[in-house]
Structure 1
C-alpha cells in the first residue's frame, strides 16, 4: 500500500544526515564513523535495550593485517588471506566484497580506535578454524576486545543489553576467554587463583551499588565502548522505536517512517539509511531456511531479529542472497526449561566440547563428529546423515565435570543439583543407567566408550581426529598431555546434556557492493540505502573461517557505509526532502 507524507503537514518530521537502524556492532560502527565526521545521526533500536546480538557475543573480530598484528610482527600478505578464504568459502567466494574487507578492515578498525573508545588486543595464539588449509594461520587475525568499565556509560548503563544468565557467573559477573581459563585452572595455578580473587573482589564491590558487575568483557565491552563515543558525539539513540517503512523519493531512500510510543512519524535522512537490524534468525520464516531434522532448533539471535531489514528493503526491489553454503552461522545449543515456563539457551562454543573427558554421541550411542572442531562444523555434523545426529548428547565423567563443567553446569565446587532436578543435566552411576535415562542405545554406548578410552590413553582419535589440529588443541586443556583434547571417561558418576542444532544468527541477507550500498535485483545500487552486519549477505557465504568473522566484517562495512555517505554529502550537496514523499508500506518478510 502506498501513502503520501507532505512536508507541508503539521508534523513534517525530523531530518538527520544519517539514520542507522539497529544498535549492534555494525550499526554503532556506522553511527560512530558518521558522527566523528560531523554528521547528524539517529540510531534506532526496536527493543528496550541497545546492543543486539553483538552485546551477547564473544566480541572478537577477525581482520587482515591490523595495527595490532603488525606490532606483534605478524605482517601477513593479502594474498595469503585470499588463498585461505578461497579454500574455506569455495564456489561462493565473492572477489569484490572480499577485497573490500581485506583492503579496508585495518583502516576501519584504526579509524574507530583512533576516534572512539574502541580498543582491541591481538590474541597471542588463536588459530583459524581450518589452520591446515592454504593460507591458514595460528595467530595474527583474531583480536580480543579489551575489558571496559561500564560506569563510563553513566545513566545509559542500564540500557545496555544484559547477557543471558548462563553467560554470567554469580548472577551478574562477566568473564572473557582468558578469565574462563583462569577459573578452570584456579586449583592448579597460583597465578590463576590471584586473577580470580581480583575479579571476585571487583564484582563484590560492584554489587553494592549496581544490579550486575560493571566490569564489561566480550560483546558487552564492544558495544559499551562504541556507545560511549556515539552518545558523547551527540548521536540520538531511540529505544523501543519501530521502523515501519522506508521513505522513497524518485527511487532514492530519503528516510524512514518510525513508530515510537503512540506516534508514527517520518524521519528524513539527507545522506542515507543504514540497515543493521540483525537479520532474520528469530523470524517465523527462519525454519524454512535451514535443514529440517524433525527436532527442536534454538537460535541465540534476539527475538526482535525477525527480518525487518529485508522487509523494508523489499519495497524497492532489493536483492537477497541465494545459494549460500549455509543460511545461518551454526552453533550447538542446550536448553534449560525453568519452572516459570521460560527457557534459558546456552551455546556450546568454547567451554566444554573440546575438553579432555568429553564426547558427543547420537541416539544410537555413536560418535559422529570431531568434538573439538568449531561450533559451525559441529552442527554441520548434526545435520549430516539426514539429521540422524540431532539432537545429540554431550557426555563426560565426574572428573571432567569437576574440572571444566558442562554447558550451564559449573566446575567444582559449584553445586549443580538444581540442573539435575530440572532435567537439564543427567547424572548416572553407570553408563547403562545414563543410556537408559537419555534414550541412547546402551550396548553401542559401551562399545563407543571402550574404543574411545583405548585410543585416548594413547592421545589419538583415529575415527574423527579430535585434538589433531592446532585449533583443536587450542580449544582443549593446555595443561593436559599428551593431547589437550583427549582423556578416557572412566570415573563415575557420568553426566550428559542434550544438544540441539542452533545458530548465532542469519548469514543470508541483502546483496551489497564494496561500499555496503544495497543492490537491487538488476545489480544496480539503490541510492541512499546501505546494509551491514547480519543484515548484509555474508561475505563468507555462510561459512565460518575463524573467530569474529561476523563482527570483523560488521565493523568494516558499517564504517564503509558511513564513509560513503559522508563522502557523497561532502562532494555534492544533497537537497533536503521537499514536496511529497512516497512512503511504501511493505509486506511481511519472505526471505
Structure 2
C-alpha cells in the first residue's frame, strides 16, 4: 500500500469493486479498502443479477428493442415520486455503457436469460426478458490463492457442504435420475466438486454473486489495483471541505493515505448501524438479515458530519425478503431468504395468526414482506407461516428443507419444521386459528381447481408463473393442499439492503443540502440513495444501479466531464 492514490474506494461489494475497476481502466491508481476478512459484501451472497435496460445483451434473447422511453415509462409507473426522475435517467444513461465496458474490456461477463421478467408485470413498459443480466459462472482456480479472499456463499444455498449451484444446476439435479442428460450434467458437477475439495478449501466453480466477485477480483488483479482487507476507515481527511484522503487502521498501525482525485463510499449502507437500524427500518425492527456483515454505517456518520444528507421520499428505507432462521451446528444462526424456491409453488399457502392469507404468495419477496408488516398492524403476522402439504414438500422443499421429503428429522427435532397429521393439529402446534386455516386451505383448494385466485391473484402475471411449476395446471402457482402430513416454517421479515443513502448527483458525487457537491466524495451502491425509491420493480435493481453509478463516478474522477 502506497501513501497516495488517485482514487480510494471504501467497500468491496459489487459496486465498490466495479468503481475501482472502472477507475483502473481509466488509468487512475486505486486502493480498495475492505474492513472484513473477505471481499464481496452482500453481492457475494446474492444472485448478483444486474437490472440494466437497453444493454447490448438484450438482443441475445430476442428481446424487443428496449429504448430509454420504454424503460423510463416503466420506472415512472412503478417508482414515480419515490425517487428523483433525473437520477433515474442518469441510471438509464450510464447502465448500458457500464455493461458494454465490462463486456468488452474485462473478465466481468454477463448473459441475459430467455425468460426473466420484471416483477411488476402489469405496469406499462414492463418486459419479460433482456433487462435482467446474470454473471457467467467463473473458474475460481484462475485466482490461485486469491480465491480465499472471496466471501463464501450462504451455506444453505449450497449442497454437499459447499457446492454452489444456480438455477440450471437445480433443474438438472432434480431430474438426474430421470434423464441421461441430467445424470451426466450432475455427475460432472459433483465430480469436479469432489476434486476441488481434495485441492482447495472450497468449491472452485463460482456462480451467481461469487462469480461476479470472482470476475471483478480477477479483472482488478490484471489491472494492478491495490486491495487491502481487515482495514478500518477511521476518518475522511479533508481540507476546507474537500476530501483529500482517509485515515486507516490495520491492527495497531494507523495510516493516512492521500486520495488525489477522490474517495468513493461503497460500504453497503446503514443497515447494521447500532442506532439507525431501529430508527430507519419498519417496526417492529427486523431481528435478522441475510446480508453480509460489515455495513455498519460508520462511514455514513463521517460523511454526515461533513454536510452529506440522507435522501427522502422512498417508499421504504430498505429492501425486504421473508426469512426463516435455524441454529447451525457451529452455533451460528442461518438466515434463509425465501426468494422464489417455495412461496409461489403449488401446494403452499402463507397465513397469519388468524389462519388467513394476507398476500399473493407468488409476489416479489419485497412486496411479500411489506404485506407482512401491513397485516401485522391488525393481526399478528410476524411471524407468518408458510404451509405445504406432503406432496409440495417432496417436490419443491420448504425453506432450508430440500426437495425429496427425506432427512426431515433434524429439522423437526429443532423446531425449524413443524409437522402434523391434520391442518387443525398443525394450527394447534403453531398457535394459530385452526378454523381460519382450514377455511383458507379450503378456498385455496377451490382456486387450484379453477386456476383463478379471486382473493389475491396468485399466478396472474408472467412473473408469478415463472416462479411456479410449469408442468402443473391449470395455474402453475396453485395446487391442492390435501396430502397429509402437513408442514410449516415460520417466516420473519429480513432486510436485504438499504434503499435510503446519501443524496448524490448524476455523477455519484455526494451532495450537501444546498445542492452543491462535497468535493472529491462519491457514493455508490447502497451508500447512495436508491434510484428505485424503496420500490422493487425487477430482479437486480441494486446491482444494476451499483454498476451504473460506479461507472459514472469513475468517469467523473478522470476529469473528462
Is the structural similarity TM-score above 0.5?
Answer: yes
**C-alpha distance in structure 2 between counterparts of 1:157 and 1:444, whole Å:** 51
Instruction: Give, in whole Å, the separation in 2 of the partners of 1:505 and 1:31.
Output: 21
Q: 1:35 corresponds to which residue? A: 24
Does the 8 A contact of 1:518 with 1:531 survive in 2?
yes
Superposed displacement of residue 404, structure 1:
0.8
Structure 1 residue ranges without an equivalent (≥5): 1-11, 572-591
Matched with 2:161 is 171
SS at match of 1:85: helix
Does structure 1 retain, via aligned residues, the 8 Å contact 2:119–2:536?
A: yes
Q: Provide the C-alpha distance between the structure 1 equivalents of 2:171 and 2:559, rounded to a whole number of angstroms.
A: 45
Tell me, yes or no, if the aligned pair for 1:184 and 1:403 is still in contact at 8 Å.
Answer: no
1:305 matched residue in structure 2: 295
Contact kept in structure 2, 1:206 and 1:213, CA below 8 Å: yes
Aligned residues: 557
- Structure 1 residue 318 corresponds to structure 2 residue 304: no
Q: Is the 8 A contact 1:13 1:266 kept in 2?
A: no
1:435 and 2:424 correspond:
no
Residue 40 of structure 1 deviates from its aligned partner by 1.0
- Tell me the equivalent position of 1:98: 88
1:549 corresponds to which of 541, 547, 560: 541
- After superposition, the Cα gap between the structure-2 partners of 1:550 and 1:564, relative to the gap in structure 1 and judged at 3 Å, is same
The correspondence of residues 346-385 of structure 1 with structure 2, limited to 5 A, is 346-385=336-375
Contact 1:281 1:301 in 2 (8 A): no
Give the match's secondary structure for 2:164. coil
Residue 19 of structure 1 corresponds to which residue in structure 2? Answer: 8
1:154, CA displacement in angstroms?
1.1
> Once superposed, what is the RMSD of the aligned Cα atoms?
1.6
Distance 2:389 2:62 in 1: 42
**Cα shift at 1:462:** 0.9
Q: Deviations over 1:386-445 (max 9, x none)?
A: 443221000001111111111100011641321111111111121122111111111111
1:320-364 deviation line (CA, Å, top 9, x unaligned): 112311000110010002465421100000111111111111111
Q: Does 1:260 align with 2:271?
A: no
Deviation of 1:185 (Å): 4.1
Structure 1 residue 235 displacement after superposition: 0.9
Q: Structure 1: how far apart are the matches of 2:125 and 2:484?
A: 44
1:304 & 1:542 partners in 2: Cα distance?
21
**CA distance in structure 2 between the partners assigned to 1:209 and 1:278 by the alignment:** 33
Matched, 1:327 2:329: no
Quote the offset at 1:296 in angstroms: 5.0
Aligned to 1:283: 273
Structure 1 position 250, deviation (Å): 2.0
Match of 1:123 in 2: 113
CA offset digits 1:113-140 (Å, max 9, x no partner)? 2221101011110110011111111111
CA distance in 1, matches of 2:178, 2:461: 26
Q: Distance in 1 between matches of 2:196 and 2:376?
A: 49
Displacement, 1:559?
1.3
Partner of 1:527: 519
Structure 2: gaps (5+ residues): none
Residues 37-63 of structure 1: per-residue CA shift (max 9 Å, x gap): 221110000001110011111111100
Aligned equivalent of 2:401: 409
Q: Is the 8 A contact 1:410 1:416 kept in 2?
A: no
* Structure 2 Cα separation of the partners of residues 72 and 177 of structure 1: 17
Query: TM-score under structure 1 normalisation?
Result: 0.92
Map of 1:561 onto structure 2: 553
